[in-house]
Structure 1
Amino acid sequence: MKNQTVIIIGANSAIAKALVDVFIADSNTQLILVSRNVDDYQHDLFNRAKLIDVKNYQECEIDAAMIRVKQVVTFDISNVFICNGVLHNQHCQPEKRLEDFTASVFTEIITANTITPMLWLKNLVPILPSSQNCKIVVFSARVGSISDNKLGGWYSYRASKAAMNMLIKSAAVELARRAKNIKLISFHPGTTDSPLSQPFQKNVPKGKLFTREFVAKQLLKVVEDTPVDGEASFLDWQGKDIPW
């Protein structure tokens, strides 16, 4: 494999850590890890990785982080994984009824799942090479599919992922004109055994709760198999199309 740079944003998430384990073993890959918490990478095993820590995901911090990324890039950027996202936290839970919907929760969820990835994408495009193909993966979710929504509920999370998908779709239209070498992928990882899915795992059918290592392996296969075609793709962990 020729030399390449891979950027993983939101590198402290479960799937991101599994991706890191794959790429850190490849001596031809420069690995740049961006996260609010890089403590897990303060280890000799990750000496080759460039660590970019951010205080928060405010726009000014993202802008500053991407300036630092640009300064340390050694090879052409071939892959970017934007792993940011929130389903729940101490004060945000997926809504089961209309009465559960609040402006504060919606704002927090859509900021994390929609605005933050878009700000990363905005700053990434200008530093990507014009000749080398580059695939950018944004973590989405099947529940963000409008046409696939048969169950309702989860208003804020569904809306944030649907909005992210629309932004990815729109960006792909633009990039087809100005940066044909960039491929945008909205990726649904399935239900992964992680803190994000922990409260909901009891409802997962047998055999459908995946390890982070399995999801990372599937994602890398999806990325390898997906052509750079000037369009956005919304794909699941099997590489199958999900309706927008």
Structure 2
Amino acid sequence: MSGQAVVIGASGGIGRALVRCLVESDRFDHVHALARRQIEIEGAEAGYIDLDDEESIARAASVIGPEIGCLIVASGLLHGPGMKPERSLGDLNAEQLTRIFATNTIGPALVLKHFAPMTAKDRRVTIALLSARVGSISDNRLGGWYGYRASKTALNMIVKCAAIELARSRPQAICVALHPGTVDTKLSKPFQRGVPPHKLFTAAYSAECLTATLDRLDQSASGQCFAWDGSLIAR
């Protein structure tokens, strides 16, 4: 074993499953499970982070320290109390857009700001931020979901820029966006009607696929977005 693995957003369904996968892989000296809510996952070290608070992000990075070999950001916001995906331009409002971008784009970008310098320089490092297929501009044929789509598109650009920068100091780093598929979690629960059973994944299955995809990627993949099955998603 060597180095540390970090999952941010570990209290969510996919986040928890990713932590378990990394613990079971037995590849890291420490697996850190960071979230706003206190959690207990066997084999992992729980910690606090609030993606809406940059000081919290910086503090979490400094506590964990250097030699991070795997960093995964599994946070995401699609709906919540008083908010649901916009179906038309008339549904747009500044408060909801601000909330969505804060969670899906700004928070993960600030994680990269503070955690990327803590990644190992002399060996393979994987950095993955959970995105979504609906963030693809070229694949958008239905419209709607303005804030969620746009925030994930913006996240994909953050990943691309970070990948270019990281390659200068960490040539073995792989920084990608990942689409987990439609997973049976709170985020997708209101939108599962019509999803074929074989395309509605458990969190455990999605996490296994995502970690397997990360293991298969090399440096040429850095900056791109991949689905749970390893297929490339067009921008």
Normalised by the shorter chain, which TM-score bucket? over 0.9
Please, which of 132, 137, 145 is the counterpart of residue 146 of structure 1?
137
State how far apart, in whole Å, the 2-side matches of 1:214 and 1:147 are. 27
Q: Which amino acid aligns with 1:202?
A: R
- 1:229 is displaced (CA, Å) by 2.9
Q: Which amino acid aligns with 1:25?
A: E
Q: Does 1:170 align with 2:161?
A: yes
Secondary structure, in 3 states, of the residue corresponding to 1:129?
Answer: coil
Contact 2:133 2:179 in 1 (8 A): yes
Secondary structure, in 3 states, of the residue corresponding to 1:136?
Answer: strand
Task: Give the gaps of 5 or more residues in structure 1.
Answer: none
State how far apart, in whole Å, the 1-side matches of 2:221 and 2:50 are. 34
The answer for the alignment partner of 1:191 in structure 2 is: 182
Contact 1:172 1:230 in 2 (8 A): no
State how far apart, in whole Å, the 2-side matches of 1:171 and 1:121 are. 8
The answer for the alignment partner of 1:117 in structure 2 is: 108
Q: CA 1:61–1:96 in structure 2 vs 1: closer, same or farther (change >3 Å)?
A: same
Contact 2:9 2:74 in 1 (8 A): yes
Structure 1 runs of 4+ off > 3 angstroms? 25-28
Contact 2:177 2:223 in 1 (8 A): yes
Q: Which amino acid aligns with 1:49?
A: A
State how far apart, in whole Å, the 2-side matches of 1:185 and 1:26 are. 20
User: Residues 79-90 of structure 1: matches in 2 within 5 Å?
Assistant: 79-90=70-81
Please, which of 58, 67, 70 is the counterpart of residue 63 of structure 1?
58
State how far apart, in whole Å, the 2-side matches of 1:203 and 1:105 are. 26
- 1:4 is displaced (CA, Å) by 3.4
- 1:205 is displaced (CA, Å) by 2.6
CA RMSD of superposed structures (Å): 1.6
Q: C-alpha offsets along residues 45-96 of structure 1, whole Å, 9 cap, x if unaligned?
A: 62x42221135631111111111121xx6xx322111011101101221001
Secondary structure, in 3 states, of the residue corresponding to 1:138?
Answer: strand
The answer for the alignment partner of 2:12 in structure 1 is: 13
State how far apart, in whole Å, the 1-side matches of 2:201 and 2:50 are. 31
Q: Which amino acid aligns with 2:159?
A: I
Please, which of 150, 161, 164 is the counterpart of residue 159 of structure 1?
150
The answer for the alignment partner of 1:219 in structure 2 is: 210
Contact 1:182 1:230 in 2 (8 A): no
Q: Which amino acid aligns with 1:154?
A: W
State how far apart, in whole Å, the 1-side matches of 2:50 and 2:214 are. 30
The answer for the alignment partner of 1:31 in structure 2 is: 31
Task: Give the gaps of 5 or more residues in structure 2.
Answer: none
Task: State the identity %.
Answer: 35
Q: Does 1:243 align with 2:231?
A: no
Secondary structure, in 3 states, of the residue corresponding to 1:232?
Answer: coil
State how far apart, in whole Å, the 1-side matches of 2:81 and 2:227 are. 28
Q: CA 1:56–1:220 in structure 2 vs 1: closer, same or farther (change >3 Å)?
A: closer
Contact 1:18 1:212 in 2 (8 A): yes
Contact 1:180 1:230 in 2 (8 A): no
